[in-house]
Amino acid sequence: EKEILSIKHLLEDVVAIINETFPKNIEISLDATPDTWQISGNYTQMHQVVLNICLNARDAMPEGGSISLTVENVHGDGTQERPAGFSPGNYILMKIEDTGSGIEPGI
């Protein structure tokens, strides 16, 4: 079921889990503006997706590294470049980046 939720708070929850459970040689950072808009979604599913991406990042960094979570409001008035299929409007942009080895081109 969908509900109105704060993606910022969801990411804060994920960061707390990572800080408690991931190896200490993996640094985690969160950059989210205080006024990040709310979204409509399923909290549990969103939490699971973000945590799974972070778990994959952890596995790609056996010697350690960093994971960066970023979320920002994006005002799409039609003049900005945007992915295909996205019409002008307001969006939440979430990025999850890591310093891992990446996925092999053959995969």
Rounded Cα–Cα distance for residues 30 and 28 (Å)? 7
Q: pTM here? A: 0.85
Say what percent of the chain tops pLDDT 90: 70
68: left (phi > 0), else alpha (psi -120 to 50), else beta?
A: beta
The predicted pLDDT at position 53 comes to 96
Rounded Cα–Cα distance for residues 48 and 42 (Å)? 10
The tens digit of pLDDT for each residue in 42-85 reads: 999 999 999 999 999 999 999 999 999 999 998 877 666 666 67
The predicted pLDDT at position 80 comes to 62
